[in-house]
Amino acid sequence: MDQPLQPENDAEVNKDNAETGVPWYEDKKNFYWMGGIFECLTSVVSLFSTNQLKEEPENWEIPMEKITDLFFLGSGGQGTVYGAQLNGKRVAVKQLHTKTETNMKHLLKLQHENIVKFIGVCTSPPQFCVIMEYCQYGSLYDFIHSNTTFAPKQLLKWAKEIAVGMVYLHGHKIIHRDLKSPNILISDDLVVKVSDFGTSCVWNDISAVMTFTGTVAWMAPEIIRHEPCSLKVDVWSFGVMLWEILTAEKPYKGLETQAIMWGVGTNSISLPIPSNCPNSLQQLLKQCWNRVPRDRPTFKIIAGHLEIAGGQLRSMNTQTFTKVQNEWRADVHKAMEIQYSKNLNTVNPESDDVSDQRREDLKQARDLRHMYEQQVTRANELFMEVCAVRLQLEQREKTLAE
């Protein structure tokens, strides 16, 4: 039942509308009645406006001339990244090699605080690039390998934010395939964002053999072995990155690419887990590195685990954690030396032939790489010679025409 209208104060009781003579309570009834009508109309207008916005086509093409004040940020195998201005706002511009690489509409609609926001693409030759959100603090890789010690609470927060971002990404059936600390960027308020989707692909719930893409130190063994893969390749890479965050060490430091591929692919080497690392984190690392992909946890489980894992670490101050982390690194270095020397001498102590075969395989891989580099160098030289001959011919044709 409606409550009767009550005057707000004594002055209101004695006050009628000076112009109309309407009593205060009638005036207030009209006010509430009109307010209800206005609220209803507002909801209807809002509904139509929302539908209209959804129906409007989204134009992601950005003319290159709108991008100004470019400055160099970094470069990698997938392209060069610049900082720039777009409509008065700082953005990041990644220059790509081909127009095909700009076909990433499945990424442009992603909206999550732990995923780098895609703003648009430029497909006007000869410039092919993607415009993204600018993260002023650079990559997580540079942060954790800068000889700066961070509070363990901050490290666990970063790990959880990465996991939450990957929950969103996998929820949209997108596999990153190159998840690593150089591809995690740090923005305002030290919030981390998953970035660099140049090698990502859309998943269709059917295992498929993936192309050899990514950085081998963070790469899942099934990709190295060219076997059917799934979303769980990102979980393996996350495990390597979590180990990197906790120990501040570079994964497989000092090993050549071919040795890492062989060791990870054959399960003959692994990243040593510090013995005094909290059991909850040790278990999580082991689960992420499970050799059976389907037995690795999902990122939703990982995010939940990180919420409660490492309770002992969270209570440490930075100075105490610095000492603990130094002990971890010493433990890791010692374990790596033993492991590497063991694998260098023999894979199976009972079979010297296996060890000899492995060394021979590694030697052949190095020889093939050297030969390939020589062929690339020779191809570049021939290309330059062809260009020079072509210029000479064009000059002769011009002379003859005159």
Neighbouring residues of 174: CB distance < 8 A, sequence distance ≥ 6: 106, 107, 110, 197, 200, 201, 202, 203
Sort strands 67-76 and 184-186 into parallel, antiparallel or unpaired.
Answer: unpaired
Tokens of 180: 């690593």
Measure the N-to-C terminal CA separation of the chain; round to a whole number of Å.
102
- Please report how many Cα atoms fall inside a 13 Å half-sphere around the Cα of residue 366, on the Cβ side: 8
| Residues 37, 179: Cα–Cα separation, whole Å | 53
- Residue with tokens 């893409």, as numbered in its chain: 213
Would you say 70 and 90 are in contact if contact means Cβ atoms under 8 Å apart?
no
**Residue 69 a catalytic site member:** no
Peptide bond preceding 126: is omega within 30 degrees of 0, i.e. cis?
Answer: yes
Q: 3-state SS of the chain: helix, strand, coil percent to 5?
A: 55, 15, 35
Q: Three-state DSSP class for 156?
A: helix
Sort strands 192-194 and 184-186 into parallel, antiparallel or unpaired.
Answer: antiparallel
Q: Three-state DSSP class for 318?
A: helix
Q: Name the catalytic one among 178, 188, 234, 295.
A: 178
- Angle subtended by helix axes 299-308 and 279-288, to nearest 10: 170
* Residues constituting the chain: 402
Would you say 245 and 155 are in contact if contact means Cβ atoms under 8 Å apart?
yes
Active site residues: 178
